[in-house]
A and B are shown apart, each in its own frame.
Chain A
Amino acid sequence: MNFLIAAFKPPCTISISLSAGRTNKQVPLKKDNGQTVLVPLFESQESIIGEVVVEPLQGKKVEHIGVKVELLGQIELYFDRGNFYDFTSLVRELDVPGELYERKTYPFEFSTVEMPYESYNGVNVRLRYILKVTISRNIVGNIVESQDFVVRNYTPLPTINNSIKMEVGIEDCLHIEFEYNKSKYHLKDVIIGKIYFLVVRIKIKNMELEIRRRESTGTGHNTYVETETLAKFELMDGAPVRGESIPIRLFLSPYELTPTYRNINNKFSVKYYLNLVLVDEEDRRYFKQQEITVYRLLETV
């Protein structure tokens, strides 16, 4: 970014620094250019405090009609690239119009900011938070500097968390009963379960459990749905016989999951499914998909 700005040769440099927050955690974030950088991590209701330093280049003066810092929460849909829907927009005026001759520091604070949505970088949609500093000028363009940060929201343990239990089958061919111990899993959770074979008349080669992510964007006719398979986990090798029960134990931690997002600002949803797939010797696939809710567990230390 600095490099880009340098191209325009702005008369000053702007740097945004955030004061040490509650956690002062940094997490990696993938930028548009493919690079990964470490950015600060926040959660909803946190105060974002910091300072903006404006330093004119040697011997130059900067005339402006005001300096402000904005906190923006944006959703960007890729089919509508370039259009940002701001669901959150907060502004702090830092300076009245005037001239800058030397380095100046502006402290700012957004206290207890409501940031209901988590940062998300999907296939067709991106949700991001930025702090944007603007030095407004009259004739020439504004000088703008922005800083990404990431928001993650934690959820306590759900009070109700039923298991998923289901009997499915193809008549006289295959009949199974499966059970996942929960319907809501946190990101580091482990799926425990069992598959009971009630009728097996086909020659099964193997059985897998897939974790699938379904991202839907837009509404109505403009809905785009993208499904990714994040995990393929072999549960069984070979053909079981009637009465056999096969254990499931799938650790979620190795996979890059996000919490389930339902209808974020009417723009998009991200849902997770467990897909149980049985493959027979002719490579026919029999499957049953079940939605699970993924959440970010509030880690109580």
Chain B
Amino acid sequence: MVLERAEDEEKWLAEGIAAIQQNAFYMHRALDANNLREALKYSALMLSELRTSNLSPHKYYDLYMRAFGELRGLEMFFKDESRHGVSIVDLYELVQHAGNILPRLYLLCTVGSVYIKSKEAPAKDILKDLVEMCRGVQHPIRGLFLRSYLSQVSRDKLPDIGSEYEGDGDTVMDAVEFVLQNFTEMNKLWVRLQHQGPGRIREKREKERSELRDLVGKNLHVLSQIEGVDLEMYKETVLPGVLEQVVNCKDDLAQYYLMECLIQVFPDEYHLQTLEALLGSCSQLQPTVDVKMLLSQLMERLSNYAASSPDVLPEFLQVEAFAKLSSAIWKVVDAHAEMPVVGAISLYVSLLTFTLRVHPDRLDYVDQVLGACVNKLSGKPKLEDRRARKQIVALLSAPIEKYNDVVRALTLPNYPRVMEYLDSSTNKQMAMVIIQSIMKNNTCIKEADKVEVLFELIEGLVKDVDGIAVDELDEEDFNEEQNYVARLIHMPYNDDSEEMLKIMCAVQKHIMGGGPKRLPFTVPPLVFSALRLVRRLQSQDGEVVGEELPATPRKLFRLLSQIIEALSSVPSPELALRLYLQCAEAAGDCDLEPVAYEFFTQAFVLYEEEVADSKAQVTAIHLIIGSLQRMTVFGVENRDTLTHKATGYAAKLLKKPDQCRAVYACSHLFWVDDQKGIKDGERVLLCLKRALRIANAAQQMASVTRGSAGPVTLFVEILNKYLYLFEKGNPQITSSAIQSLVELIQNEMQSDSTTQDPASDTFFASTVRYIQYQKEKGGVMGEKYEPKKV
């Protein structure tokens, strides 16, 4: 059925075209013969083909264009009075004798345009007559095309300012009225088109209608092209006229399209000055019209306009653009309660973009927008719609991007309230945006309460929310997020220690709830930034004395131990241990012996109770030794206790080589190379000898279990320790001892059972070369080395 119709249409179109061509042929022949009567007759016959009702708009357009082309020749003929001998006035009457209205009006428009050009009558009278007479065609499609023809032929003949048709009572006002009237009538016809035909092909009708919309919209374009339409005239005549028609036509398709046209074709400056009227009519549109799209477009244009030049900004202030736009938007949102959240939010996004561009200094405006958004979201479940979430992210990102300064966003009371309505993944996404912004701009947050707000904002990253188990998340993403949080923790800074302490406390409060997966990421940065504060306090030590001061190292250490303790619940003993050691060192630097001791104790306890893995133990013991070696704060007793404990741990390591290495490392605990450092040569030697024993044992064990002794690496390492301590002047390390050790190594290397290992050979060779070098160099060192033979 449909197909049949389409085929029929093709046939009808072909017939129509053929008839037009035939009549056009006779018409042209008449034109060549300067025969007016015949020309009129055949042109009317040709135009009669346009009376068809069988064609869809698309096909009708095809037919129309053919006739249109032929009419140009006729117009040329009409123009030249010498060819037909009839005055233009008479010609204007003559064409009206045609019995059929459509050909009559096409001819009338054609002659009318020549009539205007002749200037024998005022342009406005002719235009008015033409636009009135066209009322006779009430058929939507035929009427639309006829009026479109009128618009086409009259376009260059409007009495615009500066046009040759202006003057003698013809003013631009007449041009505007003419176009407006034609526009109004065309729109009526266009709207009426939807009522044509049976209901079931409504969809098709709508499609056909939108094909025709440009015919109507063209009028607005013509209006915008009229030079004489200045702001005043636009405000007083053009806009009210257009809006009246738009509102009264009560058709959603037309309303949307025309408003869109209106916004696009006229200058932004005009929109700005007529915002009230424009917005007022937006609220009067049909409920099915997508007002939010229109408003978004309008705001986008205005935003761009504002961005185009700073000179225009005062205009915006003058007309209170924000107040008008926002109240219009509130109204739209209120009026369309059923509007999906995404729609409302995208409106807010546009408004916010507008505000940021136009009133960058008005944070209260930004907050108002966010507040409205909160109102819209309140009482609703968290957003499920993906697009809505995207829009919210856009909404929240906009101020951050604009100001490049999160601090500003933090001062907006409604900002966190909007965040509350996000689901966890969006919340996280937003939190990342915030953090990245801080990183990018190196934003320094100085106040504790802001830090507080900030961490509330990024809560999604800091804590588990909504009971979503952490393990459901992608590990890579999670790590990345947490790394960002960790970086963020370093960002807040205040020169005032007291405030800084508050910041620390605030951060601590927030991150403590992070759970076992997050703490390993978040605790270290907090600890280190606390330590940084400690060191700062320490450097100011001279001035800052007294317990009553809120920020003292002592207090900080108390805080630190709390923080690190939290890690034990994780459990992450190795990390905690390292942090304890760091703190201990810092405490030592602050001369707080008991505190330092306490930290060491904590570290040792952890070592004993939690560090079970032997590799971890090795690492831990070396860390402990290193830290302890650097400590100068301890009194003899405390120090003894700690070193004793540490050496004890070292000797109890599982693998022999590890044992050996840990033990020789312990030797450093008894020989600290600075002025007031401990120098206990005997115990050093004890350690080294013990290390040698262990190395020997290791060698033997290896030959028993594997049939060959291990490499000599351990010996060479011990030799290096000997050399170091020898150079540092330990009296217990004698050159003979070194000598015998060297020999021992050489023996070992020559023994068959020893596994050859190029690395350790090279190591040994280098060591020997070093001794040689020191000898040859002479001086104090050379003398010391003199007795050694290698």
Contacts and interface: CB of A to CB of B under 8 A. Distances in A.
Interface of A: 206, 231-241, 244-247, 249, 251, 253-254
Contact of B101 (A235, A240, A253): A235
A238 B100 contact: no
Given A234-B99, A238-B143, A244 B136 contact: no
Given A234-B104, A237-B137, A251-B97, 7 more contacts: A232-B99, A238-B143, A241-B138, A246-B136, A247-B132, A247-B135, A249-B96
Nearest to A231: B99
Which residue among A238, A246, A254 has the maximum number of chain B CB atoms within 10 Å of its CB?
A238
A193 B325 CA distance: 48
Contacts, number: 53
A237 B102 contact: yes
B99 A237 contact: no
B93 interface: yes
Contacts of B104: 234
A246 B96 contact: no
Contacts of B100: 234
Which residue among A206, A234, A247, A253 has the maximum number of chain B CB atoms within 10 Å of its CB?
A234
B133 interface: yes
A236 B102 CA distance: 9
Interface string B113-152: 0000000000000000000110111111011000000000
29 contacts: A234-B100, A234-B136, A235-B136, A236-B101, A236-B136, A236-B138, A237-B101, A237-B136, A237-B138, A237-B139, A238-B137, A238-B138, A238-B140, A238-B142, A239-B138, A240-B138, A241-B138, A241-B188, A241-B192, A244-B135, A244-B138, A245-B135, A246-B135, A247-B133, A249-B133, A251-B93, A251-B96, A253-B97, A254-B97
A244 B184 CA distance: 13
Nearest to A206: B101
Contacts of A249: 96, 133
Contacts of A240: 138
The 7 A-B residue pairs whose C-beta atoms are closest, nearest first, are A238-B139, A238-B138, A234-B101, A240-B138, A254-B97, A237-B137, A237-B101
A124 B138 CA distance: 41
Interface of B: 51, 93, 96-97, 99-102, 104, 132-133, 135-140, 142-143, 188, 192
Given A237-B142, A241-B192, A247 B96 contact: no
A44 to B, nearest CB: 31
A238 B102 CA distance: 11
Contact of A246 (B102, B138, B192): B138
Contacts of A246: 135-136, 138
A200 B137 CA distance: 16
Which residue among A236, A237, A239, A244 has the maximum number of chain B CB atoms within 10 Å of its CB?
A237
Contacts of A235: 101, 136
Contacts of B102: 237
A237 B51 contact: yes
A236 B136 CA distance: 4
A247 to B, nearest CB: 6
Nearest to B137: A237
Contacts of A231: 99
A195 B751 CA distance: 130
Contacts of A247: 132-133, 135-136
A171 B315 CA distance: 58
Contacts of A245: 135
A234 B100 CA distance: 5
Contacts of A206: 101
A247 B135 CA distance: 7
A300 to B, nearest CB: 20
A237 B100 CA distance: 9
B190 to A, nearest CB: 13
Nearest to A244: B138
A246 B136 CA distance: 6
A260 B104 CA distance: 29
Given A238-B143, A251-B93, A233 B138 contact: no
B137 A236 contact: yes
A135 B718 CA distance: 175
A240 B140 CA distance: 10
A216 B344 CA distance: 77
A246 B134 CA distance: 9
Contacts of B96: 249, 251
A254 B51 CA distance: 23
A239 B133 contact: no
Contact of B139 (A232, A239, A251, A254): A239
Contacts of B101: 206, 234-237
A245 B138 CA distance: 10
Contacts of A253: 97
Nearest to B102: A237
Nearest to B104: A234
Nearest to B189: A238
Nearest to B141: A238
B212 to A, nearest CB: 15
A27 to B, nearest CB: 22
Contacts of B188: 241
Contacts of B133: 247, 249
B191 to A, nearest CB: 10
A182 to B, nearest CB: 18
Contacts of B142: 237-238
Contacts of A238: 137-140, 142-143
Nearest to B105: A237
A241 B187 CA distance: 13
Nearest to B185: A244
A178 to B, nearest CB: 14
A236 B93 CA distance: 18
A232 B101 CA distance: 11
A235 B105 CA distance: 11
A231 B100 CA distance: 11
A106 B140 CA distance: 73
A235 B100 CA distance: 8
A87 B102 CA distance: 49
Nearest to A240: B138
A239 B189 CA distance: 10
Contacts of A232: 99
B188 to A, nearest CB: 8
Contacts of B135: 244-247
Nearest to B196: A239
A240 B189 CA distance: 9
A254 B137 CA distance: 23
A144 B279 CA distance: 92
Contacts of A236: 101, 136-138
A142 B139 CA distance: 69
A240 B139 CA distance: 8
Nearest to A234: B101
A235 B139 CA distance: 12
Nearest to B138: A238
A231 B192 CA distance: 31
A183 B433 CA distance: 83
A216 B571 CA distance: 121
Contacts of A237: 51, 101-102, 136-139, 142-143
A151 B96 CA distance: 31
Contacts of B192: 241
B782 to A, nearest CB: 118
Nearest to B103: A234
A234 B142 CA distance: 15
A239 B143 CA distance: 11
A175 B621 CA distance: 107
A233 B313 CA distance: 60
Contacts of B139: 237-239
B95 to A, nearest CB: 10
Contacts of B143: 237-238
A235 B135 CA distance: 9
B643 to A, nearest CB: 105
A243 B137 CA distance: 15
B378 to A, nearest CB: 46
Which residue among B101, B104, B133, B188 has the maximum number of chain A CB atoms within 10 Å of its CB?
B101
